[in-house]
Amino acid sequence: MLLRPGQALRLVYISWVLVRHGLDDLILATHLFRPLRFLRVFMWWNWFRRHAPRGERIRRALEDLGPIFVKFGQILSTRRDLLPDDIALELARLQDRVPPFPGAQARAIVEKAYRQSTDDVFAAFDETPMASASIAQVHAARLQDGREVVVKVLRPDIAPVIRRDISLMYIIAEKMEQFWADGRRLRRARWWRSSSAPSSTNWT
């Protein structure tokens, strides 16, 4: 499978994040870079750095890589048959810790989706989010018939990010099947195979 320029740049960034968190072995253990493992001797930052436990380093790397990788780590943490306990326990701690985006912006996104004012759709729309995560945040609202509802609003410009990283997950999954003995057992956990990036109108 050929990589598009954006995907190639993203993979370079992923590799950099792994190296920054002291996960060089994950890169050098791949089929492509295995012949270059001797270069680890020349990675001077490893001479002085004291590493945190491996599970913590993996969790922090996934958090830095963004929402799709956080979700993947959360799901992977449930596969105790595939992971050592220390890594599974650390991945179970993954959470979406991101500040909310402005409520006025959320209202504008909903109005663009419905192509009308929120005052026409809702009797009330609370601009203060009830909760915020890396992919979306939720707002309380009341319909014109009086029913209380929760409106889920995707973060601005998050859909292209999701599509890009999910496409990379296809590539990573194929490589895992080729070069990792347990890779095929992950097939049942491949939630991105049956998931498409959320559309811009998936609000409620």
The full DSSP string for 34-98 is GGGGGGGGG-THHHHPPPPPHHHHHHHHHHHH-HHHHHHHHHHTT-TTTS-HHHHHHHTT-----
- How many residues are present in the chain? 204
pLDDT of the residue at 109: 95
Query: What is the pLDDT averaged over residues 177-183?
Result: 58
**Between 12 and 185, residue with greater pLDDT:** 12
Q: What integer is the mean pLDDT of 163-178? A: 76
As a whole number of angstroms, the distance between CA 45 and CA 98 comes to 30
Task: Quote the mean pLDDT of the chain.
Answer: 76
Task: Please state the domain extents for the chain.
Answer: 5-96+159-189, 103-155
Q: Is the pLDDT of residue 158 over 80?
A: yes
Element holding 1 (H helix, E strand): none
- Which distant-in-sequence residues (6+ apart) come within 8 Å of 66 by Cβ? 134, 161, 165
Angstrom distance (rounded) from CA 152 to CA 140:
9
